[in-house]
Amino acid sequence: VILKKLASTAASPSDFLTVLSTCKRLNTLGSNSLVLAKASPKVFAVKPEKWSESSHRFLKSCSDAGNVEACYTLGMIRFYCLQNRGSGASLMAKAAINSHAPALYSLAVIQFNGSGGSKTDKDLRAGVALCARAAFLGHIDALRELGHCLQDGYGVRQNISEGRRFLVQANARELAAVLSTTPSALMSGNWLTWNPLPHLRHGNVVGPGCPLLSDFGCNVPAPEPHPANKFLSGWFSGKKDCVGVGLRLCSHVGCGRPETRQHEFRRCSVCGTVNYCSRACQALDWKMRHKMECTQAERWVDEGGVNGDANGDDGMVIES
């Protein structure tokens, strides 16, 4: 019982492994499936530079014990880093069957892109279904993705008003998540000050409009990436040869996903200099970084386009 509690609350791999190295008896007990099944994501959050056969075996032992976080993390590593597509997808599916929202969303991204296969392997309807399930479980990126799909009619019948509702809900949940972990932020006026986007400051928008929630200056920090995404980012960081010739990484820093074939990811249709594995990553990167760098953002507004492939949900204007 004590080891199960330790495994579920450990803040790093060393917190858990140090105890196991104390004596042979503890090492044996720590390898019990009941303990490994309760291990927290931080227990197997190994750094890419320390990846080894032993860390691979430990993650596999956790996943074999039924630890859904381990299934998802090892699935992502195998699918993208080790290029073992079948095994990686199977592990993510194992986690998804147990209602693991990040696994459901990651499988949706794979279906939307046809990752690991050809362009004809895309299954938009399956992607939408997986996204809807993850969104139902409260996954914010899945909410964003589903909102864009509905708004654009991508893999599902177009419903602009419902799509925008999901996008606003995603922003609201994102803000609520930050406020719940940082209660002092409620007392700060900076969270509630409207800081319109640069292209909205010059009166470029024609007609009455109301920007989405994050345009009102809810300057939330970037969400903490999942350990699996951190591993991917570290694995491919500065290793172009690991990605593959002609392949690109998702430009959102909290993602880490690489292309599995050339031209798999979408480009920003305005500047064409950044690439994204999903609309959700595109929306987040636009809000956190790219809106300050996109060289032709004004053209997008001047043309009056509401382009899901260009700027994500935070650059759009809702008609009142």
pLDDT tens column, 157-179: 999 999 999 998 988 888 888 77
Number of domains forming the structure of the chain: 1
Q: Is residue 241 part of a domain?
A: yes
What pLDDT does residue 320 have? 24
What pLDDT does residue 11 have? 66
Residues 225-263: tens digit of each pLDDT: 899 999 999 999 866 667 778 899 999 998 999 999 999
**Is residue 138 scored above 80 in pLDDT?**
yes
**Is residue 101 scored above 60 in pLDDT?**
yes
**Is residue 67 scored above 70 in pLDDT?**
yes
Place 304 in a pLDDT band, splitting at 50, 70 and 90.
Answer: very low
Count of residues making up the chain: 320
In the predicted model, what is the mean pLDDT of residues 109-122?
94
Place 105 in a pLDDT band, splitting at 50, 70 and 90.
Answer: very high
Strand, helix or coil for residue 303: coil
In the predicted model, what is the mean pLDDT of residues 93-120?
96
Q: Which residue has the tokens 């009941």?
A: 34
Q: Which one-letter DSSP state was computed for residue 80?
A: I
The count of other CB atoms within 10 Å of the CB of residue 253 is 16
Residues 172-229: tens digit of each pLDDT: 888 888 777 766 655 455 555 444 544 444 444 333 333 344 444 456 677 788 999 9
For the residues of 181-241, what is the DSSP string, one character each?
A: H-GGGGG-GGGTS----GGGTTT-S-SSEEE-GGGGT--PPPPPPPHHHHHHHHHHTT-HH
Of the listed ranges 48-57, 58-67, 231-240, 265-274, the least confidently predicted one is 231-240
Q: Is residue 294 part of a domain?
A: yes
Sign of CA dihedral 170, 173, 177, 182: positive
Q: Is residue 240 part of a domain?
A: yes
**What does pLDDT average to over the chain?**
79
- 11 or 143: which carries more pLDDT confidence? 143
What pLDDT does residue 318 have? 28
- 286 or 137: which carries more pLDDT confidence? 137
How far, rounded to the nearest angstrom, does the alpha carbon of residue 131 sit from its chain's CA centroid? Answer: 12
**Is residue 115 scored above 80 in pLDDT?**
yes
Q: Is residue 260 part of a domain?
A: yes
126 CB-near residues (< 8 Å, 6+ apart): 108, 111
Cα–Cα distance, 313 to 144 (Å, whole number):
8
Which tokens hold the place of 214?
Answer: 């994050």
**Is residue 102 scored above 70 in pLDDT?**
yes
Q: Is residue 167 part of a domain?
A: no
Say what percent of the chain tops pLDDT 70.
71
In the predicted model, what is the mean pLDDT of residues 98-112?
97
Neighbour-count burial for 205-235, b at 16+ CB within 10 Å, e otherwise:
beeeeebbbbbbebbbeeeebbbbbbbbbbb
Q: Which domain holds residue 231?
A: 227-319
What pLDDT does residue 241 have? 66
73 CB-near residues (< 8 Å, 6+ apart): 41, 44, 45, 59, 227, 228, 231
Nearest to 147, CA basis, from 168, 175, 125, 117: 168
Q: Is residue 142 part of a domain?
A: no
**Is residue 110 scored above 70 in pLDDT?**
yes
Give whole-number Cα distances, 2 to 9, 35, 55, in Å. 11, 9, 23
Beta strands in 102-154 (DSSP E): none
What pLDDT does residue 219 have? 63
In the predicted model, what is the mean pLDDT of residues 98-111?
97
Q: Which amino acid belongs to residue 77?
A: I
Give whole-number Cα distances, 200 to 205, 273, 300, 311, in Å. 6, 23, 12, 14
Q: Is residue 309 part of a domain?
A: yes
Q: Is residue 23 part of a domain?
A: no
Cα–Cα distance, 115 to 277 (Å, whole number):
10
